[in-house]
Structure 1
Amino acid sequence: MSHTYEVRSHTERLRNRVFSIVTDEVVMPGGEVVTRDYMVHVGAVGVVALDADGRVALVRQYRPAVRTVLWELPAGLVDVAGEPLAAAAARELAEEADLVAARWDLLAELHPSPGASNEKIRLFLAREIATVPEAERHERTHEEAELELHWIDLDEAVGMALAGEITNAAAACGVLAAARARDRGWSTLRPASAAT
């Protein structure tokens, strides 16, 4: 591609703690200037936590935008200033699944909806899993108050993704990437601290 897609103007329409909605005027091939609306997102992390029996930790969470409960990975926003992404993933694993891990690797990165958002999710593989002691557990509220943790065989989770039972993009990508990495003897993994 040789066209540069020059942005002539950038206007913020709405802002909250998670995202803003913006309108850009962009020069298209041929010179026409068009407007494009999209969401600027703080970013997210997700965790494929595998136990010693090859099961993946999946949560069931209600999502208002789709008005249903979805199968998801423990995941959350990159919304703590200066927090390394691997630390954000560990925080989310503890908060959403009451789990900690001794081994962390980078599994995958994805833009779940690039036609409408710049959101990027970094997926980590967590192994050597233990539970958070009861007295140290995070108090979940709102939709997270009813999170249900389920341990599902990784191959079964792959089947769920391919059958359309897991529709959350990060969860589907995460279980597929973990199965592929496992089948390649974990040789495709990158260090958890790898640059984006």
Structure 2
Amino acid sequence: MRVVIADDHSIVRSGLRYVVTEIDPQAEIQETESYAALTRVLEEGAKPDLVIADLWMPGYVGPGDMAGICRRAAPAPVAVISMTTNPDEMRTVLSAGAKAFIPKSTEGEQMVGILRLVISGGGYIPPELGLGTVSSSSAGGIEQLSRRQRDVLELLAQGLTNKDIGERLGLELPTVKSHLAAIFRTLGVESRTQAVLAYKSWGRPSGF
């Protein structure tokens, strides 16, 4: 796997390098420090399998810069990391073509799960973008889930893929999919993101 990490802070790049090696110890990693350098890498180098890019690197002017990065990286997904928690900025980045917006405050294990999901073709939307759209009945529906369904939902909220959830819980992939279908039905949601938002807005009782 070839991964390009772009961030103007060396300590952040080191942390991201560690996260990537957790996913693939043999990953080929290239680091850049600015939008101009990242653009050159994507135009002149071998195509990556994943791009992890800070939003506010030197050279960033606006959404057009991120759209250009996503276009040059294609078909590889772009995961954006940032300190910003501005929902409008998050929406703009995702609209520009990024497959994930990951706050830099995200725990390492969760970031590993999110990046695995992105690599496998999925996407990640931070909960800040949708907490207001999840009904109280959806969150309350978690009380009706079985113990195993709650386990699946908790791992889903950590950003794990269906395959990773199955491996963690010792379940076959069709069983994981069956649990997810039941979770969606019980919560009255239509997507993984809505299910995760319901989980994050739920007041967890003792004994969960």
State the TM-score, normalizing by the size of structure 2: 0.22
- The structure with the greater share of residues assigned to strand is 1
Higher relative contact order (CA 8 A, sep 6+): 1
State the TM-score, normalizing by the size of structure 1: 0.23
- The structure with the greater share of residues assigned to helix is 2
